[in-house]
A and B are shown apart, each in its own frame.
Chain A
């Protein structure tokens, strides 16, 4: 299965929420969907499912979703942890969804076990916590073992154990040759989960590339060197065309590799106490690369003097 989104666009009146988004999702890997609040992630997912009207199209193995006899077997979507009737039991909720994809009652019980809702399966979900709602939503998306799993913020409200479980589950699901598309605000979690990223800001595509490449684009990737002779090392590096600036107890070298910096220091007889390649976190890279597309920003946490 291959999912192609072509020129997805959505306007709310004069406001363009999604602007000509095109990207492709491949089977066998988890694709993370990132963007600041209000960047259009949920709207994009709804466009992909045909829930919202807009322009552009999404093809699932070359066909629009509506062209399939059983669309629920193609895409399983979990868009919100509160999409259930509060007075319909969890099992009945899933039985209702099972009717759409023609799966058996046994499969309903199976997914209940998979997401760990056995003890509350016959309970009405009005008292469910956010985490339990997430599990129920995930169970609904998994019912027909769809080729494409689409999850919008599935880790919200989950405890650390559940997040770890979700991560393993989703990765394993993708490894069976399925397409998995997950949006999340938990960047540290996304770093552990996704192999590929689609990043948007103000509805426009910022990145569609492997996570490692996205992080490499950050200027926060550098080499830290601690030496008793920082000025000597700065001059030695500059003579090789590499810039370095003081950083904390050492120097931050903007380019090159640890091997290269070590070799230059050795050639100039400069003693090195610490040499470390510093890699930006996904969060740092994300904040840096989406800073110009933040829809809603907050004041600094430090209060200014009146």
Chain B
């Protein structure tokens, strides 16, 4: 049953033009978001390919938004066009459908991430700036600093390039899964596309700022539990906090970010299992 559900999901995704359009947009976004950033560097400066990747998917949230749109449409089309009833007529056991869609989102996000990275590199090749990119996957020093309104604590750490690449990819996948879960839960495509992105871009930052107006404890509490603030810290591997007792380590942020994803997926799966099609 699981194999059949995966094949069904594969056919669903690949027979839809928007899937390919999103891949193409990911490529273009990867290129466009890389170019201006890269031109700012001095001539002769070399950037590691993993830093390039971080710029493509970590900093420019628009690329992530495009990639995650696939996840929203993957669920959203089911409810918007009544396809859910066709799907579940063929799969009365619903969990394989949910699992297949989740796998599909992971697969597409991975592919689109790769395509956006390739897009960035391809553009650099095109404008003859590729010589500035070091493709060696060695160690890189990253000054990461997600500024905490309560008081910034910027960490300067050394990572292997693989570490950065992996985090960038995981961020895209987890964000897409969250968007997919919200769509499955709300059955509202527009809402699911907009709300997580607004949260990611500024709503959570505003919340933390409002919290800091109340007191430092509230701001720190929000810092510790909000999904995308922690998601960004995971992507940047930043430690924030005013003093030792309030420090949020990158590992804690990772757990919170992944925890939100698992929680939303679990609630969405349970809802999908029980609700009328």
Contacts and interface: CB of A to CB of B under 8 A. Distances in A.
A100 B83 contact: no
Nearest to A70: B4
A101 B88 contact: no
10 contacts: A51-B85, A69-B1, A71-B91, A72-B90, A79-B85, A80-B85, A85-B81, A95-B15, A99-B11, A102-B4
B186 interface: no
Contact of A50 (B81, B83, B88): B88
B22 to A, nearest CB: 13
Nearest to A68: B92
B153 to A, nearest CB: 49
Give the one of A84, A88, A100 with max B CB within 10 A: A100
B244 interface: no
B266 interface: no
A222 B93 CA distance: 52
Nearest to B273: A53
Nearest to A92: B15
Interface in B1-41: 1, 4, 7-8, 10-12, 15-18
A100 B77 contact: no
A86 B15 contact: no
Contacts of A95: 11, 15
Contacts of A50: 88, 92
B163 to A, nearest CB: 38
Contact of B89 (A69, A72, A82, A93): A72
A100 B90 contact: yes
Contacts, number: 85
A189 interface: no
A17 B90 CA distance: 24
B276 interface: yes
Interface string B241-274: 0000000000000000000000000000000001
B214 interface: no
Nearest to B1: A69
Contacts of A49: 85, 88-89, 92
A70 B10 CA distance: 18
A287 to B, nearest CB: 31
Nearest to B73: A85
Nearest to B78: A85
Contacts of A99: 4, 7-8, 10-11
B198 interface: no
Nearest to A69: B1
A66 B18 CA distance: 32
B277 interface: yes
A83 interface: yes
Nearest to A140: B86
B138 interface: no
Contacts of B7: 99
Given A51-B85, A140-B86, A96 B93 contact: no
Contacts of B18: 87
B82 interface: yes
A83 B82 contact: yes
A122 to B, nearest CB: 12
Interface string A80-112: 101111111100110111111110000000000
A82 B275 CA distance: 21
A69 B17 CA distance: 31
B82 A96 contact: no
A77 interface: yes
Give the one of B11, B77, B81, B86 with max A CB within 10 A: B86
Closest 4 CB pairs of A and B: A100-B90, A92-B15, A66-B92, A51-B277
A53 B275 CA distance: 7
A143 B230 CA distance: 48
Contacts of B90: 71-72, 97, 100-101
A52 interface: yes
Nearest to A150: B89
A225 interface: no
Contacts of B88: 49-51
B274 A53 contact: yes
Interface string B90-129: 1111000000000000000000000000000000000000
